Amino acid sequence: AIRVAHDNRMKPAITTDGVQLEVVANVTNSSQIQKALDLGAEGVGLYRSEFVYMEFGREPTVEQQVTEYGQALSLLQGRPFVVRTLDVGGDKPLPYLPMETEENPFLGIRGARLSRLYPDMLKRQLEALIKSGLAADKDENNKPNLKIMFPMICDIHEWRELKQMTADVVNDHTGLSFELGMMVEIPSAALMSDIFAPELDFFSVGTNDLTQYTMAIDRGHPTLSAMADPIHPSILRQIKMTVDSADSHNGWVGVCGELAADPVGSIILAGLGVKELSMSVKAIPLTKSRLREVSMKQAQAMAEAALYAESAQAVRALKPEDF
Ligand code: PEP
Ligand code: MG
């Protein structure tokens, strides 16, 4: 394995022509954050909050959640904290939450769909997030940089319903400013991103599920999953659409699926106009150092070629030095 010298870990990911990418961490709870910061993470880009719900044998109380989110905010000291609301169902059941047995759980009630079924549970999570933000806000040295996003959104009415629920909770606890966004992990969301963009602050592309739903290949399939490479041009084109939509409405786009840490993928994503790359903690040092070796001009030319390539293999054959 290639090791990145300790001194270099804290350097930002700035391309040779001076464009900075934000490189942040995927974590499942606050106890992973210190390690992430030590490895050069500039914040948390995906807090998979479902793990907090799984740790407890029942739904964590608002107070328990406030403690957990508060710990994250105090470690982050004003760095971004992107929290994904409860994303269960599909491959991630919650033992204490009754769910109907479904023939195709990945095409069933998961993520935002489950939150619409149990709106009070989502409201309690939002309340906890806002309360932990308000508590951190009292500390001058620890201004919270909270961003909340919903998983598995496929339709604008779904988005509006969850946004309204958030507004209702905010009305009861005013005074905190935070960003609200959604994950793009279903093709309908990418294809309709221009409709969503005026109503939100950011998109975070989940390339793991987006690939599963675009290629119609189960993300854990024992033999087919090798064919479901998230660098496939069909995925890159959807990310490009999402970036264009966000750009027209002062929004921004991050990527929090596996592609963000891919050696070729991270450069192409930068070239497509993605601003934030969120990845597993251990991938951070090397991804940052790779981004420091290319120019944005090269990344853009490579991204353009990738969009028109015929296959994932053809994209993988592209080399930054050829651009
Ligand atoms: C994704 O789908 O790409 C993603 C980041 O979310 P998860 O892997 O937790 O489903
Ligand atoms: Mg997902």
Express each pLDDT in 7-16 by its tens digit: 789 999 999 9
Q: How far is the CA of 185 from the centre of ligand 2 (A)?
A: 6
* Among the bound ligands, the one closest to the CA of 235: 1
Q: Do the strands 20-27 and 13-14 form a parallel or antiparallel pair, or are they unpaired?
A: antiparallel
Please identify, by atom number, the ligand 1 atom nearest to the C-alpha of residue 209: 2
Question: What spacing in Å lies between the alpha carbon of 162 and ligand 1's midpoint?
Answer: 19
Mean pLDDT of the chain: 95
| Alpha helical stretches, state H, 13-107 | 33-38, 50-55, 62-76
Q: Note the ipTM here.
A: 0.99
Residue 2 confidence (pLDDT): 65
323 CA from centroid of ligand 2 (Å): 32
CA–centroid distance, 108 to ligand 2, in Å, is: 13
Kindly report the protein residue whose alpha carbon is nearest to atom 3 of ligand 1.
Answer: 206
The SS3 of residue 112 is helix
Cα torsion 188, 192, 197, 198: sign = negative
In ligand 1, the atom with minimum distance to the C-alpha of 206 is 3
Looking from the CA of residue 212, the nearest atom of ligand 1 is: 2
Confidence of residue 173 (pLDDT cuts 50, 70, 90): confident
C-alpha separations of 274 from 165, 268, 278 in Å = 29, 9, 11
The per-residue pLDDT for range 35-82, each reduced to its tens digit, is 999 999 999 999 999 999 998 889 999 999 999 999 999 999 999 999
pLDDT at 140: 82
Q: 18: CA distance to ligand 1 center in Å? A: 30
Which protein residues have a CB closer than 5 Å to ligand 2 (ion)?
Answer: 185, 206, 209
Q: Tally the C-alpha atoms within 13 A of residue 103's C-alpha that lie toward its C-beta.
A: 0
Q: How confident is the model at residue 120 (pLDDT cuts 50, 70, 90)?
A: very high
Ligand 1 site residues (CB inside 6 A) read 46, 48, 185, 206-209, 256-257
Q: Distance, CA 257 to ligand 1 centroid (Å)?
A: 6
Q: For ligand 1, what atom is nearest to the CA of residue 46?
A: 5
Tell me: pLDDT of 118 over 90. yes
The pLDDT value given to residue 252: 98
Q: In the predicted model, is pLDDT for residue 3 greater than 80? A: no
Residue 48 dihedral angles phi and psi, to the nearest 5°: -80, 85
CA–CA dist 90, 102 (Å, integer): 9
Q: Which two tokens stand for residue 20?
A: 């900075």
Q: What pLDDT score was predicted for residue 93?
A: 84
Report yes or no: 268 and 315 within 8 Å, Cβ to Cβ: yes
Q: Per residue in 223-249, pLDDT tens? A: 998 899 999 999 999 999 999 999 999
Sorted by sequence, the CB contacts under 8 Å of residue 54 that are 6+ apart come out as 92, 94
Strand segments, DSSP code E, in the chain are: 13-14, 20-27, 44-48, 80-84, 145-150, 179-184, 202-205, 252-255, 276-280
CB neighbourhood size of 156 (10 A): 14
